[in-house]
């Protein structure tokens, strides 16, 4: 359900002229506020599903790794979409207190649990000493307990209901705020393309000097935001960005694991052998990323050809 029909009729009457003719119809012929609402409502359905699963699974217990991962993926996409909406004035104090902030806190706690799940998986893959794995599982239990405690405090049904109500109502309020302004009738493409260009500029600047673990981690976050922006709002999936995010994510996981192993079992012979294997794998991943980073898709934009051109 979309509650901005008046603005849509006006935009059709006035014409949305700023987008290039090669832009896909959903970006060229649709106002930015309408597209933002549709995108947010699309992810809402997934948010509602995972929240329901969490509500059923909680019962005072920590959620299973599979559910943690699934929920994090959905909430990560919501955060990406929300970052765009927030820039366009969607946020309001009441919503953030009742809905936005609780979702962010839950996402953060799930992220901590997921990190330990990954650590445990890697500990088995690299045959780390049992003492290390024991510590990892203990920390995962603590992180999972925090998630379970948070879920006990969160009223999932109300959270889902409030989120849907907000997404249906807020565009009308924003439209009223911009009443009489040509900005309201700006095409989705012309409104969002500068944000995409800004994201690319940030990625380009980071890529130029990112070599340390901290710098590569920062680049990973920017690449991830870039990839989601292209996918959620522009309808584009790019294999180079997917691969770059995967490589940088694995590098980040192995860097975190190396630091943990060094702190937990620095004098253990088994840990020393594992550390050598970890270092070798990190070097391989770095080499793979170095080959890929020169091909990041700067300037990538969606485009369509006319039916006449296709027929010719």
**Average pLDDT by stretches of 10, the chain with 312 residues:** 44 56 88 96 96 77 89 96 97 96 96 96 91 92 92 88 97 92 91 96 96 96 96 95 97 94 73 88 97 95 63 42
pTM, two decimal places? 0.88
Q: What is the pLDDT of residue 304?
A: 79
Q: What is the pLDDT of residue 26?
A: 87
Residues 6+ apart with CB under 8 A from 291: none
Q: What is the pLDDT of residue 268?
A: 74
CA distance linking residue 101 with residue 124, whole number of Å? 35
Q: What is the pLDDT of residue 16?
A: 54
CA distance linking residue 259 with residue 277, whole number of Å? 14
User: Which of 219, 233, 204 shows the shortest CA–CA distance to 296?
Assistant: 204
Q: What is the pLDDT of residue 272?
A: 83
Q: What is the pLDDT of residue 263?
A: 76
């Amino acid at each position: 359900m979309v509650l901005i029909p008046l603005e849509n009729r006006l935009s059709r009457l006035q014409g949305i002229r700023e987008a290039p003719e090669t832009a896909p119809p959903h970006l060229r012929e649709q106002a930015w506020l309408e597209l933002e609402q549709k995108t947010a409502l699309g992810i809402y359905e997934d948010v509602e599903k995972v929240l329901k699963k969490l509500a059923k699974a909680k019962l005072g217990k920590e959620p299973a790794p599979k559910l943690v991962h699934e929920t994090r993926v959905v909430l990560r996409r919501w955060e990406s979409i929300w970052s765009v909406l927030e820039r366009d004035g969607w946020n309001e104090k009441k919503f953030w207190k009742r809905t936005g902030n609780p979702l962010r806190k839950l996402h953060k706690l799930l992220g901590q649990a997921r990190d330990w799940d990954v650590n445990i998986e890697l500990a088995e893959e690299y045959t780390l000493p049992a003492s290390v794995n024991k510590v990892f599982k203990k920390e995962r239990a603590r992180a999972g307990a925090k998630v379970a405690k948070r879920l006990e405090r969160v009223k999932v049904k109300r959270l889902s209901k409030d989120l849907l109500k907000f997404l249906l109502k807020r565009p009308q309020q924003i439209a009223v705020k911009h009443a009489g302004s040509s900005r309201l009738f700006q095409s989705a493409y012309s409104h969002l393309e500068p944000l995409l260009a800004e994201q690319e500029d940030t990625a380009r600047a980071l890529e130029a000097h990112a070599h340390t673990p901290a710098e590569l981690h920062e680049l990973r976050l920017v690449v991830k935001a870039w990839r989601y922006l292209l996918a959620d709002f522009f309808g584009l999936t790019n294999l180079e960005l997917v691969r770059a995010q995967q490589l940088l994510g694995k590098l980040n996981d192995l860097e975190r694991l190396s630091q943990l192993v060094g702190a937990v079992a620095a004098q253990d012979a088994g840990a020393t052998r594992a550390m050598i294997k970890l270092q070798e794998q990190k070097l391989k991943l770095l080499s793979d990323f170095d080959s890929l980073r020169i091909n990041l898709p700067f300037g990538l934009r969606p485009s369509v050809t006319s039916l006449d051109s296709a027929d010719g």
